[in-house]
Structure 1
Amino acid sequence: MIDPVPPSEHVGRSSTGFVAGDEDARLAEFGYTQKLDRSVGRVASFAIGFSTISATTAVFTGFGAGYLNAGSPFIWTLFLAIPVFLLWTLIAADIAAKLPLAGYAYQWTSRLNGPGFGWFTGFAALIGWVSGMTSLGYIFAGYLGSVFDWDLTQAGQIFIAIGVVLVCVTINAYRVRLATFINNIGVGLEIVVTVGVTLVIAVVVFLVPDNAQPFSSLFEGKSSDEATPYILAWLAASLGPFFGLVGVEAVADVAEETKNARRVIPRTMFYAFATSCVIEFLMYLVYVLAIKDASAVAGSSTPIEEIISQQLGPVFAKIVVAVALTNILVCLLANVLVGTRLLYSMSRDNMMPFSRALRHVSPERKTPSTAVITLGVVSVLMLLSALVSPQAFNYFLGIATLAFFTTYVLQTVGLLIASVRGRVPEPEPGTFNLGRARIPLLVVALIVFLTVEMALLFLPAFAGNGFVFGGILVLAALWYIIVVRRRVRTGHAGAAYAQEHPDDEAVEVR
């Protein structure tokens, strides 16, 4: 699927000739006119990365499944996830500094390997973001029900999730400054309140005699199913920690809305990743040791609330969960923000159905409103599918993780080929650059990502996800064969399309 495209057509020239603030001219080098609101500074960039990863959301969503699958030792699976995502952070930071474009997953491979490769990579990432935001909406609804003691049916939880998704879509459709403002507040609450409560619980657990599980429990576990070898159960328990670190590269997707993107984005990727890893591990550690009644935790749909209730009482637990809901909400908000920029970017190059509508940017609000609304509609339809088949929701979280790792594999393959062929742009002075370490790092990363991908496809706990995701990829392949390939061949899609067909005059070719 790699199209032989000369580097000069797909890769922007070095921008060292422009002054630091001339972002519009830098974007023009890639053939695009600045239309989005470039208002994201360093703090907001960090907040987007941090909230997309969202350590609190990861713990609240992944704790129950991890503990049920493998018991207390499941927390060590985080140390499988950390080196994997460190590899990806290094790779993403390196390319983000050279190709700071919205729609990172599509743009990086499209410009370095051709639009065909870019289409499949971007589509896989798009599935990851929409599945992730759908999962978060459902999880938010469940915790909201627990705060107000609602006895929610699955249908009730789905309809609440739909409402939450629509709220986040509305905020993103209105203006990016509002979305990032709310996101900054949510991140502040997460760092101050949620982490603060975790430290309070840690003090109570370790200072009150016989109030904590022994440290030895962290190395004693058994699988929930006696027929399943423990090592397989332990590996299955890693889905939560792995899903919890997905999205470290998300800040690259708002590159066209970030000030001094080439320098700011790589730094905030590392800051967000490091902060999230530390907070996530400490929360897992404290909450596992704080379990008093293991059977109650195992039987609870909201295990973290149950643990806090055991230590500090039900009233305090509900207050903490209410604050944690804001963390899940801003994580969902950031997922919508990032996913819609990817959809907008692919539509700008006329790669999607109804691209002309999807690439529209509101001149007043400077947001891709149609793309935002469309992604929201797709998420709502996915949630409604769980009404028809209760099994549907079980696939969302697994497919999200599978889609992201498919994206990582495709991007790593594309970047490795581009590096060998000397197609990766030269770095701007003072920006992050892997240099000679790029190719060895990409080789190691490809082996690691393929290993995780195989686990997500073949571990018994994830059975079925591969077939569903494979079916989605078949649809992507049909669209490429029937429509996209012809558009690219006739010059009606690809990296040069936006420059040669201004939005106001473009007529979509079908």
Structure 2
Amino acid sequence: MTVSEEDARLAEFGYTQKLDRSVGRLASFCIGFSVISATTAVYSSFGFGLSHAGPAFVWTFPIAAAVFFVWAVIAGDLAAKIPLAGYAYQWTSRLVGPTLGWFTGFAGLVGFISGFTGVAYIMSSYLGGLFGWELSDAGLIWVTIAIVLVCVVINAYGVRLATLLNNIGVTLELVVTLAGTLIVAAIVFFVSTHHQTVSFLFTKGDTVSEPYLFAWLTSSLGCIFGLLGVEASADVAEETKAARRTIPRTMLYALGVSSAIEFLMYIVFLLGIDDPAAVSASGAPIADIMSRQVAPWFSKAVVAVALTNILVCVLSNMLVATRLMYSISRDNMVPGARFLSHVSPGRRTPSAAVWSTGILSILILLSALVNAQAFAYIIGLSALGYFTVYVLTTGGLVLSRRRGNLPAAEPGTFDLGRMRTPVYTVGLVVFAAVLAALLLLPEFRANGRIFLYVMIGAGVWWALGLRPRLRRGDAGPAYSLRNRTDPAPDSIPSRPS
């Protein structure tokens, strides 16, 4: 499918091609891989799992990977049929209605914005350790704000620079981080005498609370957090070449490669523990294990490269968050929609959405200067936002299938076919189960309450502002289709390479 054909198909949905369609297969894979970010996942979740359930937490990872595989095939099937920016909003809006689309898209924004804010905070803490900075809580917040601003500027410059840097970061992660893990593995298994045996992977640790099942289930949420965002490449569909064919494949490739690397890293670093008590008490357990098994300089070198991986994780999460914000805004679904849907003619990037998303993140960070606990709650919203999207989308698909209005598959594109009903059923059950755990487990109830308050806020806007617009036909996909007055796709000049 040529670029002009893709743009013509976009016009059938009611939109003129304004964004820079320059994302190829490699960049699409790298976006999905970096949003998941195996390195960020392991560095941020290893200590959480170890402290909550002991080494046996690692066996929750295959379960988490299976959950996300179910979501990946659902999302891949939809991306092949409705390849639009702002997937979380667009899919449910077009299959069920803009009201469901609003709540799904809003939950997606909560997930993405709180997610990249949290990852930026993780990066700031590792920067402090790498350079020996004695950072206070306020100092960490200001460093995090600086990281967010750097990513805002890169994303505002254009998708080509963002994806180029992302590709470089992913390459470093695949080569250096994976090589560092294999070096640790070689030393642990063939050189060092201070390591654990395989039986260690089945122990629950000495400080784990009872009942153990609750502790083990709680630890699984660390592994689940480490795979969030597998569908990210779908959010840049309007900037992807041959999006209908490319995105489902790169989505599954990103999930497969990330899962394999994450599981390998968990196993290697668990077996590389020489002093379980010291590692459990460490604020940077992965770095400490590398220092103990290899050398401090080796640990610093690998962590330095890992910081580039974490940076592109922030960059990519922000990239997809801005596309969701842009997509909702161009359908007049939010206050200030005309401003937020602005696309820079020269850069062909949704610059207003980029800056607005960055400002929201900074406001979250500034709130932590007033109340550190508020920041902890907001960061905990990431997984809740994602899984609300998964539940609402899959529930909408079940309803849409009963109505018989699912789009037909195009030849040569991914399609669930006869597996659609069982996959939807399994997906709805497991996504709802994870969401219930995030809301009800004692460790996460406070986050659940904050998330409910945030979604109530979305409901207030729907009742007072959005619902009247929808009744008048002044919002939603139908509004864009009816009011599209931009030039025809063929008349839009291509940006030079």
**Residue aligning to 1:181:** 164
Q: CA deviation at 1:396?
A: 3.4
Alignment partner, residue 220 of structure 1? 203
Structure 1 equivalent of residue 137 of structure 2:
154
Amino acid at match of 1:244: G
Q: Give, as a single letter, the amino acid of the residue that structure 1 aligns with 2:130.
A: V
The correspondence of residues 11-160 of structure 1 with structure 2, limited to 5 A, is 22-160=5-143
Deviation at 1:80?
A: 1.8
Give distance in 2, aligned partners of 1:317 and 1:443.
45
The question of whether the paired residues in 1 share the 8 Å contact of 2:328 and 2:334 is answered with yes
Question: Does the aligned pair in 2 maintain the 1:223–1:229 contact within 8 Å?
Answer: no
Identical residues among aligned pairs (%):
57
Look up the SS of the partner of 2:27 in the other structure: helix
**Hey, what does 1:12 align to over in structure 2?**
none
| Counterpart secondary structure, 1:101 | coil
Query: Matched residue of 1:238: which SS?
Result: helix
CA distances 1:142-193 after superposition (whole Å, capped 9, x unpaired): 0000000111111100100000001001100111000000000000000000
> Does 2:221 match 1:245?
no
Could you say which residue in structure 2 is the equivalent of 1:340?
322
AA matched with 1:446: L
The alignment partner of 2:385 has SS state of: helix
Query: Is the contact made by 1:344 and 1:358 (CA closer than 8 Å) also made in structure 2?
Result: yes
| Offset at residue 295 of structure 1 (A) | 2.1
Which runs of 5 or more residues in structure 1 are unaligned? 1-17, 506-510
Alignment partner for residue 401 of structure 2, among 419, 432, 439? 419
2:390 to 399, 403, 408: 408
Q: Which amino acid aligns with 1:208?
A: V
Which region of structure 1 is more displaced relative to structure 2, 288-297 or 35-44? 288-297
Deviation at 1:393, TM superposition (A): 2.9
Q: Which residue of 1 aligns with 2:493?
A: none
- The 8 Å contact of residues 332 and 474 in structure 2, kept in 1 or not, is answered as yes
Q: Unaligned regions of 5+ residues in structure 2, if any?
A: 488-497
User: 1:274 is matched with which residue?
Assistant: 256
Q: SS of 1:431's equivalent?
A: coil
> Could you tell me how far apart the structure 1 residues matched to 2:2 and 2:446 are?
52
Letter aligned with residue 121 of structure 1? T
Which one of 441, 449, 468 corresponds to residue 459 of structure 1?
A: 441
Structure-2 residue corresponding to 1:479:
461
Contact persistence 1:222–1:230 (CA under 8 A): no
- Match of 1:326, as an amino acid? T
Query: Are the aligned partners of 2:322 and 2:354 in contact in 1 as well (CA < 8 Å)?
Result: yes
Deviations 1:211-249 (A, max 9, x none): 3111111111147354x3111111111122101111000
Q: 2:467 is aligned with what amino acid?
A: R
**Root-mean-square deviation (Å):** 1.4
Q: Output the amino acid matched with 1:66.
A: G
Q: Which deviations, in whole Å up to 9, do the C-alpha atoms of 1:80-115 show, x marking residues without a partner? A: 201110110010000000000000000000001011
Task: After TM superposition, list the pairs within 5 Å mapping 1:320-469 onto structure 2.
Answer: 320-469=302-451
SS at match of 2:196: coil
Count of matched residue positions in the alignment of Structure 1 and Structure 2 = 487
TM-score, normalised by the number of residues in structure 2 = 0.96
Contact 2:16 2:486 survives alignment (8 Å)? no
Q: Distance in 2 between matches of 1:399 and 1:466?
A: 8
Mark the CA change 1:502 to 1:223 in structure 2 (over 3 Å): closer, same or farther: farther
After superposition, the C-alpha distances for 1:49-75 in whole angstroms (9 at most, x for unaligned) are 100111111001111111111111111
Work out the CA distance in 1 between the residues paired with 2:304 and 2:278. Answer: 21
Q: Quick one: distance in 2 between partners of 1:419 and 1:57?
A: 37
Contact 2:14/2:484, CA 8 A, preserved across alignment: no
Distance across 2 between alignment mates of 1:32 and 1:438 = 29
Distance (whole Å) between structure 2 residues aligned to residue 225 and residue 60 of structure 1:
20
- Hey, what does 1:168 align to over in structure 2? 151
Structure 2 SS opposite 1:351: coil
Whole-angstrom distance in 2 between the partners of 1:41 and 1:80: 31
Q: C-alpha separation between the residues in 1 aligned to 2:53 and 2:217?
A: 9
Q: CA deviation at 1:503?
A: 7.8
Say whether the 8 Å CA contact 2:54–2:208 is kept in structure 1: no
| Structure number with higher helix proportion | 2
Q: What is the TM-score normalised by the length of structure 1? A: 0.93
Paired position in structure 1 for 2:247: 265
Between stretches 66-75 and 91-100, larger displacement belongs to 66-75
Query: Which consecutive segments of 4 or more residues in structure 1 shift more than 6 A?
Result: none
Q: How far does residue 392 in structure 1 lie from its aligned partner after superposition?
A: 2.1
Give, in whole Å, the separation in 1 of the partners of 2:258 and 2:432: 24
Matched, 1:301 2:301: no
On the 8 A contact 2:55/2:205 being kept in 1, the answer is: no
State the one-letter code of the partner of 2:41.
Answer: A
Asked whether the 8 Å contact 1:349–1:497 carries over to 2, the reply is yes
Q: SS of the counterpart of 1:22? A: helix
Measure how far apart 1:19 and its partner are: 6.0
